């Protein structure tokens, strides 16, 4: 199975990054402005990307300030059953984020597009955590729909 992996250093505390990758408010600051908890399901996030597409992620595991894992349960068929993992570790005066999007069935055009898009959104996460301003979808500077 192919997996998407990225490593990025962020000048912010693990706690700040952890909140950004475990809460609807956090996700809305760097991934999509339309992120919310699913009513009646506090461990499920709904992430909307325009009027015709959304994803739902269920919390699969966490260790506060160190690790968070989400499982996609609604979205494109290639996303369903994949896991989005954020691992945090302090390195010198920064936090190292090791990102994984695991469980892809095969290498496809969507896999390649998502690998590229994750790079953009992880830079948005970095910007949000360091400056307070990310570039979530639909940022006018041009993150395209996933």
**What pLDDT shows up at residue 41?**
94
**What pLDDT shows up at residue 140?**
57
Q: Which residues pair with 45 in a beta bridge?
A: 37, 57
List average pLDDT for each run of 10 residues in the chain, which is 146 residues long. 96 98 97 96 95 96 97 98 98 97 97 96 98 89 50
CATH superfamily of 4-131: START domain (3.30.530.20)
Sign of CA dihedral 12, 14, 16, 22: positive
**CA–CA separation, 131 and 83 (whole Å):** 28
Domain ranges within the chain, ordered by starting residue = 4-131
**What pLDDT shows up at residue 1?**
82
**What pLDDT shows up at residue 141?**
63
Report pTM: 0.94
**CA–CA separation, 86 and 78 (whole Å):** 20
């Amino acid at each position: 199975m192919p997996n998407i992996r990225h490593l990025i250093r962020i000048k912010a505390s693990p706690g700040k990054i952890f909140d950004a990758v475990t809460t609807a408010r956090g996700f809305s600051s760097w991934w999509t402005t339309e992120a919310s908890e699913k009513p009646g399901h506090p461990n499920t996030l709904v992430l909307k990307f325009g009027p015709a597409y959304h994803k739902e992620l269920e919390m699969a595991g966490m260790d506060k300030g160190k690790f968070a894992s989400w499982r996609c349960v609604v979205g494109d068929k290639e996303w369903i059953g994949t896991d989005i993992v954020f691992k945090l570790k302090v390195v010198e005066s920064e936090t190292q984020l090791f990102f994984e999007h695991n469980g892809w069935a095969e290498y496809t055009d969507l896999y390649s597009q998502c690998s590229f898009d994750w790079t953009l959104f992880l830079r948005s996460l970095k910007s949000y955590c360091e400056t307070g301003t990310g570039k979530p979808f639909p940022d006018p500077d041009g993150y395209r729909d996933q």
